[in-house]
Structure 1
Amino acid sequence: MLTLSGVSASYGAVRALHDVGFTAPEGKVTAVLGANGAGKTTLLRTISGLVRADSGSVRFGDRELTRTSTERLPGLGLAHVPEGRGVITELTVEENLRLGGLGRDNRVRPERLDRVFSLFPMLEERRGATAHVLSGGERQMLVIGRALMASPALLLLDEPSLGLAPRVVAQIFDLLGGLVADDGLTVVLVEQNARSALSIAHRAVVLSLGRVVVDEPADVLARDDQLRHAYLGF
């Protein structure tokens, strides 16, 4: 379980998060929604230590993450997939995946590679191809697969649908739903496509100007026309 309490964070003199608190239940998808500039990406970066919190607590299980170096997080079972599909284009698909396996225990376990290939058959078909030939959707699958190589308990996922065709978005969201249902993965999903996020989420947190304005079951938010119109635009 991931628990945030009173978390504030800044970029220089600009406060990006204000006293943020919520709990992401274990083995569930928590969708973090809101307009551009609401603080969603900053929130994930603060959880993973890329942005240091000015105050507050971020706990994963019994571990206080605000006092833990970013380099140690994969070993604790946390994986962060930033926005932007950042593959190493000069390396092959398999080489990119193997790098992800080193993050947990400095070993690439064959069963992890087999598991990722079973989830993404396209990656197995192109395992020897360099990553620069992949489409945007294929690169998104590769960065998610690379994160899964560390067998995380908690996956932080930033805007996986950005710029992708609806068919590919549906594939990725179906995969996430399956990982949660079958493997017990805990996911914190930052997503601009609120409809798709709510379709697989169990919990929904809405940020506005760096503050939590909604924190409730995803199905409740999906049915609340007033809140959706006010904060999500649909």
Structure 2
Amino acid sequence: MTVPAGAVTAVLGANGAGKTTLLRTVSAVQSPVSGSITMGDHDLIGAGAESMSRRGLSHVPEGRGVIVELTVEENLRLGLLGRNTSRPRMDIGRVWDMFPPLAQRRQATAHTLSGGERQMLVIARALLATPSVLLLDEPSLGLAPRVVAQIFRQLRDAVDTDGLTVVLVEQNARSALSIAEHAVVLSLGRVVREGPAADLQGDTELRHAYLGF
């Protein structure tokens, strides 16, 4: 599969299709059995997970992993450690503008945040590392539609304004396709369809077979 630069690619499929495994392999959390992974001109096979941020790749796994003992602002500043220096640094003030609920609670400890606020926090922390490529695993899971819409709107703005490349794994295929330019459908670890998101959204047979709507 190929991920176009400066666009949102939705990776879709049923439970067990291999979506999370794909992101974990790209970000070197687990090792591939075979094949190749490249980002631009760089071969990522053999690179350590700890080096990915400096290479310009940030991975937000499922589960809203914040450090609950730290404040919102302290969690965010962790994103500046090991950041990608090949792109202009994102200012923390921009993050407050993108996610006003975080700005209002910047000195609150993270354990007091709602699920939606925690998801905003982990995405904002990843953006502060100034990635070229952002991998997102199920960012809408368990969140109210209003919160999901706000998060997706800010991701879309980062793509349009900063040229960010986003790989979005989502069970909510309808929402993912609504903000994506490109889409990939997985089934049992294999790509069964890849192409413009609008084409996949309009393919009734494909949607019924693999995406559930």
Instruction: Select the structure with the greater relative contact order (CA < 8 A; seq sep ≥ 6).
Output: 2
Give the distance between the partners of 1:193 and 1:52, measured in 2 at CA: 27
Give the distance between the partners of 2:33 and 2:140, measured in 1 at CA: 30
| 1:202 matched to 2:181 | yes
Give aligned pairs, total. Answer: 211
SS at 2:35's partner residue?
A: strand
Unaligned 5+ segments in structure 2 are none
Q: How far apart are residue 70 of structure 1 and its match?
A: 1.0
Unaligned 5+ segments in structure 1 are 1-21
SS at 1:90's partner residue?
A: coil
Aligned partner of 2:8 in structure 1 is: 29
Deviations 1:145-172, CA, capped at 9 Å, x for gaps: 0101111110000000000001111111
- Tell whether the 8 Å contact from 1:112 to 1:151 is kept in structure 2 after alignment: no
Residue 177 of structure 1 is aligned with which of 156, 161, 165? 156
SS at 1:50's partner residue?
A: coil
Aligned partner of 1:125 in structure 2 is: 104
Q: How far apart are residue 215 of structure 1 and its match?
A: 0.6
- Tell whether the 8 Å contact from 2:184 to 2:191 is kept in structure 1 after alignment: yes
Alignment of 1:154-169 (within 5 A): 154-169=133-148
Give the distance between the partners of 1:111 and 1:29, measured in 2 at CA: 19
CA spacing shift, 1:36–1:77, aligned 2, 3 Å: same
For normalisation by structure 2, the TM-score amounts to 0.96
- Tell whether the 8 Å contact from 1:32 to 1:206 is kept in structure 2 after alignment: yes
Give the distance between the partners of 1:205 and 1:215, measured in 2 at CA: 4
Q: Greater share of strand residues, 1 or 2?
A: 1
| 1:96 matched to 2:90 | no
Give the distance between the partners of 2:91 and 2:3, measured in 1 at CA: 25
Deviations 1:66-104, CA, capped at 9 Å, x for gaps: 121111111111100000001011000000000111131
Aligned partner of 2:24 in structure 1 is: 45
Tell me how large the CA RMSD over aligned residues is.
Answer: 1.4
Give the distance between the partners of 1:49 and 1:151, measured in 2 at CA: 19
- Tell whether the 8 Å contact from 2:90 to 2:130 is kept in structure 1 after alignment: no
Give the distance between the partners of 2:5 and 2:141, measured in 1 at CA: 26
CA spacing shift, 1:212–1:63, aligned 2, 3 Å: same
For normalisation by structure 1, the TM-score amounts to 0.88
Deviations 1:99-145, CA, capped at 9 Å, x for gaps: 11113169xx9962112112112111111000001000000000000
Moved over 4 A (4+): none
| 1:146 matched to 2:125 | yes
Give the distance between the partners of 1:110 and 1:31, measured in 2 at CA: 26
SS at 1:152's partner residue?
A: coil
Give the distance between the partners of 1:46 and 1:105, measured in 2 at CA: 20
Amino acid at match of 1:117: W
Amino acid at match of 1:113: I
Amino acid at match of 2:196: P
Identical amino acids, percent of aligned pairs: 68
Amino acid at match of 2:116: G
CA spacing shift, 1:56–1:171, aligned 2, 3 Å: same
